[in-house]
Amino acid sequence: MNAPEHVRAAASSMAPAVTSLDMIRRLVAFPTVSRDSNLALIEWVRDYLEGFGATTTLTFDDERRKANLFATLAARDGNATRGGVVLSGHTDVVPVDGQPWDTDPFQATLVGDRLHGRGVADMKSFSAIGLAFVPTFVERGLARPLHFALSYDEEVGCIGVRRLIADVRARGVAPTGCIIGEPTGMQLVVAHKGRRTWRCRVRGHEAHSSLTPRGVNAVQIACDIVAWIGGRAQALRDGHRQDAAYDVPYTTLHVGVIQGGTAVNIVPRDCSFEFEMRYLPLDDPDAFFSELRHFAESRVPAMQAVAPATFIEFDTLSSMTGFDGSNGNAMVDIARDCAQSPLLHKVSFGTEAALFDAASIPAVICGPGHIEQAHQPNEWVRLEQLARCEAFMERLARHLCAR
């Protein structure tokens, strides 16, 4: 194989194979930003896998602009549904608009011991290395099925994979479990927090700012509610309900967006803000939300005494359950062996793992690169991480091909 000079130079002890790098380059070159179609990538991967005898199913979004791919390499005895492992990755990436990139984000580029490109960490490298290992899996002969699950619209709320999972369930495919290759530094993650997001809308009453008692200041009331959320966040940080296995060991609350008012000399009529809770299994988002609502409602009589049309309303924007496999299951055992990771980790960011888990497909998260580099300009992954991912696949091949 004629590897380019810079690839051979990097081929030290902890460098990935050229086939893996080629596959990563190929996937990164499809500009699959969530708002755009991913069909070119999906069709290319489908054709590649069918070339190795895989059976494939596409599930589409309503406009048929995007698709999930579920592909199965059956075991030698023809078993395509019982046991085995799913390698799962989302195909979409976040936009690069307005970000200062030093290289073309859609050309994976070696810079020293790092590969730069949109999606190299989050999360095309894991899928690419799995795909690059397909010839190895097939040559050695699978004793159990191997599946690929490539989804669309993960970055905008884990939307696409729901259809893939429903289809897999409907067809009676029952894998031992699923490995989600989100960037964990190749550490084995077996739990993540749940997340809920809401919007609060405060309707006040406009008045000239020299006559504040005749108005209802929506910005002020919204800020009182924001302050209440801040106080609750501090209590959670200082409280006893903590789990040290998480990167942030307690439930967090956070206000990310606030909009209100039009001019400094007008008592503002409207203010809205959006906030989230990332919660441990120990904490109940419904209980938090009903207390918050109670606090907000206590403000309404005074508002309506000034102007009857005022109100405080809430909308739930999104809801993602957490999952926790730290008590162990067959998938955790396999992944623990493949990752050579004695410690089980827990993280605060959400993934598709919770959705697989809820559909009785136990999931773990393990992939190359780090979440700190995800969504950033000059997103990168170290070659050493890619080599670790290859070592993981090698051990997985031993497991899947063992008689």
Q: Which residue has the tokens 């006040």?
A: 204
Residues in a beta bridge with 114: 111, 382
Q: Which is nearer to Zn ion, 122 or 379 (CB)?
A: 122
Please give the Cα distance from 74 to 72 (Å, whole number).
6
Task: Specify whether the CB–CB gap between 339 and 187 falls below 8 A.
Answer: yes
The distance of closest approach from Cβ of residue 374 to Zn ion in the complex, given in angstroms and rounded to an integer, is: 6
Question: Which is nearer to Zn ion, 20 or 127 (by Cβ)?
Answer: 127
Going residue by residue from 131 to 170, which x/- string records binding to Zn ion, judged by CB under 5 A?
Answer: ----------------------------------------
Bridge partners, residue 56, by sequence: 71
CA distance 272 to 124: 36
Taking residue 150's Cβ as centre, other Cβ atoms within 10 Å add up to: 30
For Zn ion, the nearest residue by Cβ is 122
Q: Which is nearer to Zn ion, 164 or 173 (CB)?
A: 164
SS3 content of the chain, % helix, strand, coil (to 5): 35, 25, 40
CA distances from residue 358 to 60, 186, 351, 355 in whole angstroms, order as listed = 21, 23, 12, 5
Any contact of residue 27 with Zn ion (CB under 5 A)? Answer: no
Both tokens of 257, joined, read 């967006």
Task: Candidates 73-81, 121-129, 287-295, 377-385: pick the segment binding Zn ion (CB under 5 A).
Answer: 121-129
Does 379 participate in binding Zn ion (rule CB under 5 A)? Answer: no
For residues 4 and 16, what is the distance between their CA atoms, to the nearest angstrom?
Answer: 14
Rounded Cα distance, 141 and 133, in Å: 12
Q: Please pick, from the candidates 92, 122, 283, 390, the single residue that binds Zn ion as defined by CB under 5 A.
A: 122
Q: Which is nearer to Zn ion, 200 or 320 (CB)?
A: 320
Stretch that binds Zn ion, among 15-23, 100-108, 114-122, 219-227 (CB under 5 A): 114-122
Q: Draw the binding track, 173-192, toward Zn ion (x: CB under 5 A; -: no contact).
A: ---------x----------
Q: Tell me if 123 contacts Zn ion by CB under 5 A.
A: yes
Choices 29-37, 118-126, 242-250, 341-349 (CB under 5 A): range interacting with Zn ion: 118-126
Q: In the complex, what is the shortest distance from the CB of residue 379 to Zn ion, in angstroms, rounded to a whole number?
A: 11
Task: Report yes or no: 161 and 151 within 8 Å, Cβ to Cβ.
Answer: yes
Give the footprint of Zn ion on this chain (CB under 5 A). 122-123, 182
